[in-house]
Amino acid sequence: MSGPIPLIVAIDGPAASGKSTVAKAVAAALGCVFVNSGGMYRAFTWWVLQKGIRPDDTAAVLDLLAATRFSCGEENGVGTVSVGGTRMTRTEMASTEVNANVSVIAAIPEVRDRLVAEQRRYAERGGVVMEGRDIGSVVFPDTPFKFYIDASPEVRERRRRSEGITDSIARRDRIDSSRAASPLVVPPDALVVDSSDLTVDEVVERVLAAVRNRRMTP
Ligand code: C5P
């Protein structure tokens, strides 16, 4: 006997669009697990750098990938990831080195295949709100709950600066949008929310209202 279909909410958008903050609040309101898929690409990038491998040495990255065990779980409603038995700290994952190299690693199709398989596993365990670049287009294309959170480049740059983080947002967006494997796109059936002039609460409310609305409309 199969149980109820778990709720899957896909939230995509460019770097620093505010999607992580929004996804976390939406997950809490819906009683779902919050998963930041970018954290998985960041964790593996950190691991690659840690091993002294150049991110553009694809053959070496693939050898390491084959030898690496990922462990993705959940703690207090938030997805966790360990790579090679090591859990990265938030500081490591948001480091300047990781910011500068993550898009190159995330463009490798084999890396994506491994991590997408881990991401899909969350939905087998229960409701999930996942944010990233290809969640609505590739990871969960069948969910009716798709959102694309955008913000102007100026607002996004300002947000990162105010966090004190060095991040080449424009460069990452360029690589993420132009890569062959699962580029950043607006899924055709996604609700687009421009967060430039909205508060976090306003964006969260729009997403929650749309989820409730779509749940009632089969
Ligand atoms: O979301 P965040 O900015 O932390 O993601 C870091 C990087 O991970 C992105 O710039 C992108 O290269 C990659 N990513 C991806 N697909 C996802 C999530 C993140 O390629 N679903």
Nearest to 26 by CA among 112, 164, 139, 131: 131
Mean pLDDT of 156-162: 89
- 70 sits in the region (left: phi over 0; alpha: psi -120 to 50; else beta) called beta
Range of the domain at 162: 8-211
Task: With respect to residue 2, please indicate whether it lies within any of the assigned structural domains.
Answer: no
| pLDDT value, residue 118 | 97
Q: How far is the CA of 26 from the centre of ligand 1 (A)?
A: 19
Which residue CA neighbors atom 6 of ligand 1 most closely?
Answer: 38
The CATH number for 86's domain is 3.40.50.300
- Please write the tens of the pLDDT for every residue from 114-157: 999 999 999 999 999 999 999 999 999 999 999 999 999 999 99
Contacts of 14 (CB under 8 A, 6+ apart): 150, 151, 156, 169, 173, 176, 177, 184
- Please write the tens of the pLDDT for every residue from 101-111: 999 999 999 99
Which residue CA neighbors atom 7 of ligand 1 most closely?
Answer: 38
Nearest to 142 by CA among 208, 187, 204: 187
Structural domain total, the chain: 1
Distances in whole angstroms, Cα of residue 192 to Cα of each of 17, 20, 64, 94, 216: 12, 15, 37, 26, 20
| pLDDT value, residue 101 | 97
Contact between 134 and 184 (Cβ < 8 Å): yes
Q: Where are the beta strands (DSSP E) in the chain?
A: 8-12, 33-36, 70-75, 78-83, 86-87, 128-132, 145-150, 191-194
Task: With respect to residue 21, please indicate whether it lies within any of the assigned structural domains.
Answer: yes
- Please write the tens of the pLDDT for every residue from 5-53: 789 999 999 999 999 999 999 999 999 999 999 999 999 999 999 999 9
- Residue 134 Cβ inside 6 Å of ligand 1? The answer reads yes
Task: With respect to residue 153, please indicate whether it lies within any of the assigned structural domains.
Answer: yes
Task: With respect to residue 189, please indicate whether it lies within any of the assigned structural domains.
Answer: yes
Task: With respect to residue 217, please indicate whether it lies within any of the assigned structural domains.
Answer: no
Contact between 181 and 109 (Cβ < 8 Å): yes
Cα–Cα distance for residue pair 187/143, rounded to 1 Å: 11
Task: With respect to residue 3, please indicate whether it lies within any of the assigned structural domains.
Answer: no
Q: Which among 36, 88, 102 is the best mutation to test ligand 1's pocket, defined by most ligand atoms within 8 Å of the CB?
A: 102
Contacts of 173 (CB under 8 A, 6+ apart): 14, 15, 184
Contacts of 162 (CB under 8 A, 6+ apart): none
| pLDDT value, residue 1 | 46
- Residue 38 Cβ inside 6 Å of ligand 1? The answer reads yes
Task: With respect to residue 163, please indicate whether it lies within any of the assigned structural domains.
Answer: yes
pTM passes above 0.85: yes
Q: How far is the CA of 40 from the centre of ligand 1 (A)?
A: 8
| pLDDT value, residue 89 | 87
| pLDDT value, residue 88 | 86
Q: Give the strand pairing for 128-132 and 145-150.
A: unpaired
Which residue CA neighbors atom 4 of ligand 1 most closely?
Answer: 38
Nearest to 95 by CA among 178, 166, 6, 7: 166
Task: With respect to residue 216, please indicate whether it lies within any of the assigned structural domains.
Answer: no
What atom of ligand 1 comes closest to residue 19's alpha carbon? 1
Residue 165 pLDDT class (50, 70, 90 cuts):
confident
